[in-house]
Structure 1
Amino acid sequence: MLNKFLNHIAQTSDAPIGLEVNHAEGPFIYTKDGKRFVDFISGIAVSSLGHRHPKVVQAIHQQVDKHLHVMVYGEFVQKPQVDFAELLISNLPAKLEQIYLVNSGTEATEGALKLAKKYTGRTKLISFKNSYHGDTHGSLSVTGRDIYREPYLPLLPDVHFLTFNSFEKLDLIDEKTAAVIMEPIQGEGGIIPAEKEWLKEIQRRCDKADALLIFDEIQSGFGRTGKLFAFEEYEVVPDILCMAKAMGGGMPIGGFASSKEIFQSFKYDPPLNHVTTFGGHPVSAAAAHANLKELLSGEYLSRALEIEKQVKAKLQGKGIVEVRGKGAMLGLQLESWELTRKVVEECFEKEILLGWTLHSNTLVRLAPPLIIEDELLNDVLDSVLEAIGKHS
């Protein structure tokens, strides 16, 4: 099977992980050769309620028995879309009163950028160094990491990058600016939370210039930081909110929310100037609705904060440069690339999946599912500490 995978599935690296998945349940992924891996990265912040949560699976089955795709997004009234949107919007600030459903995070970013340019009639975009907003051309244009951008230059013009958490050069947010796009917590850039007063100043500058503020909460949304969305900690409300990853409980779906007034600009000059065939697919929307209902009905948000508390108490200062982040969106900064590689590889040998890339080479990203129990959480942390001690 591995050879067929390598021959027929386009690869993005010379060394894919290559686990042959048999099934997944809760915090575990089971392979064809009988191994059971703890998914401590949740499919990269996707499976926040674990794999195949029963209520999400039930909603999928019920919708499959009714209908699949029937029409491009926005033309037919489809109950799964309406139910999900109603529940989500009822839990967002008043000015985020509608959502446009798409298929993925990068599509949410693309739609948000188009919406900002269309509404304001401007082209200038402000982003931040070390940001990550997706791999399609528009999203890549506002991603502040040269390693991703340089192979595809030229990208969108009139994009300017500022330093995250720095008050320098904020005067670039001016009357020519369509939007400022940012992650309240930089993910791929190193799990770096924004500073509250700095973020408030960003909003003040946007308001003064009549520029839109876009928050990319594709990774930080849906309970991962202990709030439904990370911006709730900052007393700052964006004009456009991007979301995906944990939104669908394991099904592909994304979206961007804004006001009715701003969304009006998609209706005219010309009509249908932003469309998607499969956005808000009814099966994905049904899964997203069930996922959100469960997330809001349980103790998952407080569990994210408890995970943070336990991780930091156990790991902080023990051969680790820094443990940072919020809730169950955490990063371990280690001393060297070699140590980081060895820790991740040794944990893999112990059937624990951690987040690490060559582009963030001294950072181990942790995004455990919010359903993880204390015993398993502590077993994983013990394994991490053991690997760090062995290779330090």
Structure 2
Amino acid sequence: MLSARQLFLQHQAQTTDFPLLLEVERAEGVYMYGPAGERFLDLISGIGVSNVGHRHPKVLQAIQEQLDKYLHLMVYGEIVQAPPAQLARALSQTLPPGLDNVYFVSSGSEAVEGACKLAKRFTGRSELIAFNNAYHGSTQGSLSLNGSESFKRAFRPLLPDVRHIRHNAEQDLEQISNRTAAVILETVQGEAGVRVPQKEYLQKLRKRCTEVGALLILDEIQSGFGRTGTFWAFEQFEVVPDIVTCAKGMGGGMPIGAFISRREIMHSLKNDPMLGHITTFGGHPVSCAASLATLEVIQTEGLLKEVALKAEQFKQQLVHPAIQEIRNCGLMMAVEFESFAILKAVIDTAILKGLLTDWFLFCDNSMRIAPPLTITMSEIDEACSIILEAIRENVRY
């Protein structure tokens, strides 16, 4: 009988020639466990997904309770179901007044696709503006918005009428015009290696969009659901977007995404044509139940107030001549090394020592640190100790 590893390699589509090949039998809290009892401290949360840790008891309870009622019933938006309705209200209550209409989808890429379609439909314009080194997903529309040509060139032609401008460059804001349907920006750039915009810049971007009638879409797929220390990262910049996208950390480990806007904007999908956006599994009741439980855990267990303190614990301990810089917005962190070669060696050694981390797509000399928000101070101590050991074994000073 073939092992799970053999089945994985023979029958599951691969995206690189060097998958990690960690075999995981179970996971709980900040740890994943292999079939022989191996333990791995998960320092990346499935790339920003497990914000409340693996298999949080309240998330599991919500899933089980919904499993006992019903699963998928109908495509999005046709049947009244309590889990998506209750989640939509709860999400609206975390947002500024007016951002009260939620369209549920199945992933971050789909959330971006829906948001951009909505912007075009509402404004009647075609141009979309994104940023250099942006990452918004891998479907053809979201890929068109990404800021790295190396990831796009093999798939051209992509979406037309997309323009890219420089991050934090005020002079580029003049390129936003009355042709622009929307400007889409990661509130904190993720795959660029955790690049935080200047507060004044983001406010000027908001002002420029308002002046020309373009919608501002803030991508909170990585930064939302408490990752940066506020429920939404944009709260720290005193701006209000027209559309918000979210996914990853919102499901407690279950697949779900959403784009959220004002009622007047969202209702433009109802007519000419009706069914302006369609999704079969968006608003899946089990995922929505898990998401609502995740939201409640973040709010009731005080996870937000601990984010800054935990990030500071990482920064105080990760001190070594090989570490050139640490950038962060809360527990969305990048630890920069001189080169990918050094970083890759450190990551590989850390995995052997029981710690999982990785790098960023567009910043391959920086280590990603994005642990579950539930990580404890002693677990941070353990993680930093392993990272420093891995550095010492691979870098000589």
TM-score, normalised via structure 2 length: 0.97
Structure 2 residue aligned with 1:365, among 365, 368, 377? 368
| 1:334 Cα offset (Å) | 0.5
Q: Deviations over 1:330-382 (max 9, x none)?
A: 00011112110111011001010012256532010000111111111111112
2:207 aligned partner: 204
Q: Is the 8 A contact 2:101 2:262 kept in 1?
A: yes
Q: For residues 154 and 197 of structure 2, what CA distance do their matches in structure 1 show?
A: 29
Instruction: Please give the secondary structure, in 1, of the residue aligned with 2:41.
Output: strand
Correspondences of 1:280-295 after superposition (within 5 Å): 280-295=283-298
1:95 aligned partner: 98
Q: Deviations over 1:168-203 (max 9, x none)?
A: 221110100000000011001111011101101100
Q: For residues 51 and 136 of structure 1, what CA distance do their matches in structure 2 show?
A: 27
Instruction: Please give the secondary structure, in 2, of the residue aligned with 1:122.
Output: coil
Q: Is the 8 A contact 1:184 1:217 kept in 2?
A: yes
Instruction: Please give the secondary structure, in 2, of the residue aligned with 1:214.
Output: strand
2:230 aligned partner: 227
Q: Is the 8 A contact 1:319 1:389 kept in 2?
A: no
Q: Is the 8 A contact 2:320 2:388 kept in 1?
A: no
Read off the aligned partner of 1:33 and give its amino acid letter. Answer: A
2:79 aligned partner: 76
> Is 1:296 paired with 2:299?
yes
Q: For residues 10 and 341 of structure 2, what CA distance do their matches in structure 1 show?
A: 31
Read off the aligned partner of 1:164 and give its amino acid letter. Answer: H
Aligned length: 392
Q: For residues 183 and 247 of structure 2, what CA distance do their matches in structure 1 show?
A: 19
Read off the aligned partner of 2:389 and give its amino acid letter. Answer: E
Instruction: Please give the secondary structure, in 2, of the residue aligned with 1:236.
Output: coil
Structure 1: unaligned runs, 5 residues or longer: none
> Is 1:59 paired with 2:62?
yes
2:337 aligned partner: 334
Q: Is the 8 A contact 2:360 2:368 kept in 1?
A: no
Structure 1 residue aligned with 2:317, among 314, 317, 325? 314
| 1:326 Cα offset (Å) | 1.0
Read off the aligned partner of 1:382 and give its amino acid letter. Answer: S
**Identity value in percent:** 48
| 1:299 Cα offset (Å) | 1.4
- Cα distance 1:204–1:357, how it changes in 2: closer, same or farther (>3 A)? closer
- Cα distance 1:220–1:357, how it changes in 2: closer, same or farther (>3 A)? closer
Correspondences of 1:237-252 after superposition (within 5 Å): 237-252=240-255
1:187 aligned partner: 190
1:381 aligned partner: 384
1:148 aligned partner: 151
Read off the aligned partner of 2:176 and give its amino acid letter. Answer: I
Read off the aligned partner of 1:3 and give its amino acid letter. Answer: Q
Q: Is the 8 A contact 1:44 1:355 kept in 2?
A: no
Instruction: Please give the secondary structure, in 1, of the residue aligned with 2:94.
Output: coil
1:159 aligned partner: 162
Instruction: Please give the secondary structure, in 2, of the residue aligned with 1:193.
Output: coil
Q: Is the 8 A contact 1:318 1:385 kept in 2?
A: no
Instruction: Please give the secondary structure, in 1, of the residue aligned with 2:244.
Output: strand
Structure 1 residue aligned with 2:218, among 215, 219, 224? 215
Q: For residues 294 and 301 of structure 1, what CA distance do their matches in structure 2 show?
A: 10
